[in-house]
Structure 1
Amino acid sequence: MHCQEDRVLKIASILLGKRVRNWYLRILRTDQLSNEWKDSLQHAQQEDSDIKPILEWMKASAPKPMWSDVSAMSSTTKSYWAQWDSLLIQDGVLCRKWENGRGDKCHLQMVVPKAKVPDVLQLYHSGCSGGHLGVKQTLLKIRERFYWVHCRDDVEDWCRKCTSCAAIKGPQTRSRGALKLYNVGAPWERIAIDVAGPFPESESGNKYFMVVMDYFTKWPEVFAIQNQEASTVADKLVHEVFCRFGVPLEIHSDQGRNFEFQIFQETCRVMGTHKTRTTSYHPQSDEMVERFNQTLERYLAKVVEKRQRDWDMHI
């Protein structure tokens, strides 16, 4: 577990800015919180009018207060009072015990005061570690470490008002024409390939990215490339895909010249792979990889820096 987190921290130190990285380091591990984050959270909880009464009762080791003691308090305080048996103080921080529906997993969630809610939402949705995911995925990530009353409502409101998400997402148009299903019986039996770009040239000299997707598992492989020539595409396909997953029975692509060029066709012939292509003016037959391209482009548009010279590092 720690090895995986250390790898995440190393990537964060390269890709994220100093300020966001420091936030990430401070709250990534709930069991090894820095003193700075502990002090900040403790102070915010003590200053929060809804949490302060609960915190004082628990620090005094008092039994659960009577209803008459909390009846005049806010609805948020009453909600925490109703969860009294699930609350505890760890390292001076008020936490909540959470168990899954089966009761076989339990972990602690830090209780977040109102003053800290925007910071958590900023990191887990708008930050690079969040990737501007939807309400469901953002909520799942937050609930792994944090809890506050009306958490779902705040996440929904934050995602709805996110300017980056609103700017990137356009109107969704429905496909016109019914398409037939293509049955695939095993992983990497049939793959789709596509090249997107050109994008602003990165510091590494890349201007395109190539997507390879498996029709059976929907597993995507993405590679940043400097050009879309047939030799470049064929070389990347052989050394990065065939050598790792094996040679597929069939490759499907659009009618791009790089896929129709003789060197690419010859590569498929030598490898014993059947090559198919979309029909003219009907890219829907390659809908799987085209849809993934849209998702990846939207994500990159949200996380790249203003100079747009590091987009290939985020792939």
Structure 2
Amino acid sequence: MELCSVGLGEDPCLQPVLPGVSEADINVESGHRESEGDTSDVEKIRLTDTSDTVLFHGWTTEELHQAQMADPDIGPVKRCLEEGQERPSWGDVSPFGPAAKAYWSQWKRLYVKDCILLLCFYCTKGTVFYPHMLLPRVFRTDIMKQMHDGPIGSHFGVERTLARLQTRYYWYRMREDVTLWCRTCTSCAAKARPPRKPQAPMGTVRMERIAIDLNYRMNETERYNCYILGVQDYFTKWVGAYLLPNDQAVTVADVLTAEWVWRYGAPQTLHSDQGSNFESEVFRRMREMLGI
């Protein structure tokens, strides 16, 4: 598992990550990892001593111990480790929630030091060991408030706030909790830039989409025309009306091509009431020829 680089420096100093974690404990844990064959050379903890990477949680060891024991997900796992039991079977873990099962799946990386349940993390190369405290639920709001709203938090985004927390703490679905906390921060919402005004999609251009309809005229003209073909452009609202002697598809296609297409160009879309003269084979071939 790759860890974030927050808290790591070129000139590290040796210091415990949590109260009660010393170099001897790390070396003991390092030997335990070597026996399992997971890593070859496990070095000591390396953390910079910059003030902005130090967490001032203000909790005592006893408070952390009691909170972990009272936590419904961390408590059962911690009791088994303190009693020196072997890894529980799946049948014993199945009644618990998904968080307890997630901790159970990392059993070999869990250990108790000074009554505090810790989880071992290793960097990508497996050469640096990082103990992370399994933080109980009752303290998560407090620590997220410190790391996001506090003086060392500076209302950073999700990734930077999460990176600071991951230098010392771990809990199930940590990213989801941090994301929700940052998104519901009233200070961040008040200072955030307003959302970009969405732009409406570009409409049609002139003569791109037209509508046609055929109307019957009762009185014949001197040239025996008794139908009117109406054509209108959607964009410009330009209307054309053309007299027809009949309503056959060949006649409609001929007038539409000669009077409209050759004058204004072929449209991309043609709307009609799907009458028989507009759905005929002749009209379909005309549309294919013009690319409508």
TM-score (norm 1): 0.45
Rg larger in structure: 2
TM-score (norm 2): 0.49
User: Which of the pair is proportionally richer in helix?
Assistant: 1
